[in-house]
Structure 1
Amino acid sequence: MSASDFKPETWTLNANEALKISIVGENAIQFLPLFTYPIYGDSEKIYGYKDLVIHLAFDSIAFKPYVNVKYSSKLNDSDVSNVEEKLLSFLPKDDVIVKDEAKWVDCFTEEQTNYNLPESFCKVSEYSLNGEEFTVYKTNLLDDFAKRMHRRVQIFSILFIEAANYIDENDPNWEIFWLLNKKTKQLVGFVTTYKYWHYLGAQSFDESVDDKFRAKISQFLIFPPYQNKGHGSCLYEAIVQSWLSDRSITEITVEDPNEAFDDLRDRNDLQRLRKLGFVAALREHSEHAFLESNRRSFKLEERQFNRLVEMILLSNKSPSFEMKVKKRLFIKNFDALSGTEPEEAKEALMNSFVLVKDDYMRIIKSVEDFKA
């Protein structure tokens, strides 16, 4: 052993770099996770190994998981955790092939040979992109096939979505949207969604025969090999259109979206409102009743709808844009602003307004062919 072997940093690795994820189709595409803290701790560090590589692989259709951990040296120390066991605890028990690559290939090859979606997979929509055809399906987790598939892919949620957790597969209100390549059957992405009972008031409750629900997008994931190709927008729009045509859904929400998903949502919602004529109509109407009626028909939650209205007012060069945004910011930050001098409060309000305006302009300019 050399002197460097006694230094802790020699035996400490970044878990995000040690974990190599692969999706294997005609070719194997390898990529790194964004997060590993749910598996290997908040620091995302692994101690006690040299030259550690943790291979986590899936075939591109059935997503049969495979794990193989390799390293050149390991400390004989009680503080050294078993990295393989930790990873396996997040994968479906008795459905993972460990180390035996030939067995894994045989298993997923056999699965792919007989791979057909059951009738419980309801086709939601189809679309064409870059010369290929894709299909969006929906199913609940009461179906055994869907449950098995979700158990295999759910680890991607915690590896690529910050603060994500595994969902309760026994709760019937969870539904999964699946995105597949129509020809190759390759799984491109998936979305977990949840339906909450929506109380619309005593009169509506007494008169309504059918229950009403808020629909929530929870975990939205396009697998890394298929990202930045337009699939996210197509899948999001397929889900929204499915809910717009469902009379039991009254409102569409999103759970803790990150900035990237906020942008995707804003762009697609703006495009949809433009196609439906709302952008033009907003030039002529601004009264509360008009706005609320449209918000309900578009099934948009209040915060998202108000953001879109502000963006449209900006794109329409409406003189009411600045007043509306500043009023909202003042109400939102009233407690903080009330404790400062009037000039300081005015300056802080203006700074916040400029930031909001700049961000809205960025989104508007990113919407292809968006016109006021």
Structure 2
Amino acid sequence: MAAIQLMKSVLEDYVCKANDCIQIKLVRSESDVFDDSKGFQPEFTHQLFGQNENIFGYKGLKIQLFYTAAKLTPYLNKVCTSEIKKNMFDGVQADDVLKVISDKLEIPIVDNLDKFIARIPEDADFTPTGTLLHSYPKESDDTTKYYEIYKNTIDVPGFQEYHKRLQTFLWWYIDAAASYIDDDDDRWMYFTLFERYMVDGKKQYALVGYGTVYNYYAYPNRIRPRISQVLVLPPYQRQGHGLAFLETMYNDFRADSDVLDITVEDPSDEFVRLRDYLDCRNCMSLPAYVKDKLPQGYNDDMAKEALEKFKINKKQARRVYEILRLRVTDHSNPEEMKAYRLDVKQRLNIPFQKQKSDYEKLKKVLKPEELTAAMEGTGTQERQDTLETWYQELMTFYRQVLERLAMA
């Protein structure tokens, strides 16, 4: 038993956290290859290494996943101070970490550093594919940097092959990206964001972000774009690019008469806040959302104007109303806050009203003991507690949006 415990203790020293030992890098020049400050880490690794996000079999492990900044030519390598060999611990083997990554990425990978460095100058010939939708400057460290946003479909020459490399970032930064999207489906739209910079008087590009949108059918002859994924890479986050990216998508959808409204698929909390901010900022200009009308409650004019002007769907329009009403509510006035709280909770209570209807139906077909089991956890106190939790969570989100609106 003691020997087993000792072996277990020794083997635990060979467990590494995948998020900590993977370094991703966008390389513009040979000097970037050796500059650790250019690297950044993944946000998620469970989709490759399991829920614990562990890699077994190494000490001092460093995994280098480098891309040339424009063409995204990839290089993959690992270094470590110690690695378990097959004959060390009764045949226990280290994870074949490079194979796990290369199999998941499903693209040709350069495994020789000199060959990778030789490929870097090829980026000078890169030009983004697709339609240029928007370009904008950003001030940074007393210099002005320039950015461009493009829209592609999969049949744009050269884009399908580029997309195979582009989508590999999803494994590291989009939770639950269980598989690549079907790029043979022509209902997908793709948006790319690049930094444009000059080298020896010639334009060059570096990837900043990537987004995908699926055009769902909307009866009888419209489409309903659903934003699936939006990613701004870590070196460019917290700089306003997410807002510029989303606003450009919105403007493109709104210019299309076939688009009914805009939806979002399973958004992250950060994306929810970004979307709320943009929609609130836009709706503040609408007559239905003026300060004097908000305390009177949500109405059809709000939904209609948000849809017609900004293609905001009804559910999101209601959320925008709640945020903007909170903005004009006097928080020091108990009566105003009570009226606001009751208004929001009335909406939150809708699922429980459905449960009440279901209860009446079940009463007719279930025995008393079966009915009790079916409705467990839906009593008055449980419902009130749940509503209060939902309400407080919303207030946290809403206040963050209002703080950003106040700084705009």
Given candidates 132, 138, 147, the residue that maps to 1:134 is 147
Distance 1:144 1:97, change over 3 A: farther
Q: Distance in 2 between matches of 1:349 and 1:37?
A: 32
1:327 is matched with which residue? Answer: 346
Q: Distance in 1 between matches of 2:48 and 2:399?
A: 39
1:90 aligns with 2:104: yes
The one-letter code of the counterpart of 1:306 is: R
1:252 is matched with which residue? Answer: 262
The one-letter code of the counterpart of 1:332 is: P
Distance 1:282 1:74, change over 3 A: farther
2:397 is matched with which residue? Answer: 359
The offset of 1:321, in angstroms, is: 3.1
1:193 aligns with 2:213: yes
TM-score normalised over the length of structure 2? 0.78
1:202 is matched with which residue? Answer: none
Given candidates 159, 176, 197, the residue that maps to 2:172 is 159
Q: Distance in 1 between matches of 2:236 and 2:326?
A: 33
1:68 aligns with 2:77: yes
SS of the residue 1:251 aligns to: coil
Distance 1:347 1:82, change over 3 A: closer
Given candidates 14, 19, 23, the residue that maps to 1:20 is 23
For residues 305-340 of structure 1, give each alpha carbon's deviation from its aligned partner in whole angstroms, at most 9, with x where no partner exists: 111111112223295633321211222344489943
Given candidates 249, 261, 272, the residue that maps to 1:262 is 272
Distance 1:278 1:239, change over 3 A: farther
- Contact 1:197 1:214 survives alignment (8 Å): yes
For residues 10-39 of structure 1, give each alpha carbon's deviation from its aligned partner in whole angstroms, at most 9, with x where no partner exists: 221111122111122254511111111111
2:305 is matched with which residue? Answer: 294
Match runs of 1:22-171 below 5 Å: 22-25=25-28, 27=32, 28=35, 29-71=38-80, 72-76=82-86, 77=91, 79-93=93-107, 95-98=108-111, 100-110=112-122, 112-118=123-129, 121-130=130-139, 131-164=144-177, 165-171=179-185
- Contact 1:139 1:146 survives alignment (8 Å): yes
The offset of 1:149, in angstroms, is: 2.1
Q: Distance in 1 between matches of 2:79 and 2:389?
A: 53
Q: Distance in 1 between matches of 2:9 and 2:378?
A: 56
Q: CA RMSD in A?
A: 2.7
The offset of 1:355, in angstroms, is: 4.4
Distance 1:123 1:8, change over 3 A: same
Q: Distance in 2 between matches of 1:18 and 1:357?
A: 37
The offset of 1:345, in angstroms, is: 5.5
Once the two structures are overlaid, the 10-residue window that deviates more, 250-259 or 69-78, is 69-78
Q: Distance in 1 between matches of 2:186 and 2:292?
A: 40
The offset of 1:216, in angstroms, is: 1.1
Q: Distance in 1 between matches of 2:380 and 2:298?
A: 34
Q: Highest CA radius of gyration, 1 or 2?
A: 2
The offset of 1:186, in angstroms, is: 1.3
The one-letter code of the counterpart of 1:148 is: E
SS of the residue 1:63 aligns to: coil
For residues 102-155 of structure 1, give each alpha carbon's deviation from its aligned partner in whole angstroms, at most 9, with x where no partner exists: 211222312x2322234xx11111222222221110001223522222211212
Q: Distance in 2 between matches of 1:113 and 1:329?
A: 54
- Contact 1:192 1:217 survives alignment (8 Å): yes
2:372 is matched with which residue? Answer: none
The one-letter code of the counterpart of 2:326 is: L
- Contact 1:49 1:75 survives alignment (8 Å): no
Once the two structures are overlaid, the 10-residue window that deviates more, 10-19 or 292-301, is 292-301
Structure 1 unaligned blocks of 5 or more: 200-204, 206-210
TM-score normalised over the length of structure 1? 0.85
- Contact 1:97 1:104 survives alignment (8 Å): yes
Distance 1:278 1:185, change over 3 A: farther
SS of the residue 1:310 aligns to: helix
- Contact 1:283 1:316 survives alignment (8 Å): no
Between Structure 1 and Structure 2, how many residues are aligned? 352
Q: Distance in 2 between matches of 1:82 and 1:174?
A: 34
Q: Distance in 2 between matches of 1:250 and 1:63?
A: 35
SS of the residue 1:221 aligns to: strand
Structure 2 unaligned blocks of 5 or more: 1-5, 198-203, 331-335, 356-374
- Contact 1:4 1:10 survives alignment (8 Å): no
Given candidates 172, 178, 182, the residue that maps to 2:192 is 178
Distance 1:351 1:59, change over 3 A: closer
Q: Distance in 1 between matches of 2:126 and 2:59?
A: 40
2:222 is matched with which residue? Answer: 212
SS of the residue 2:260 aligns to: strand
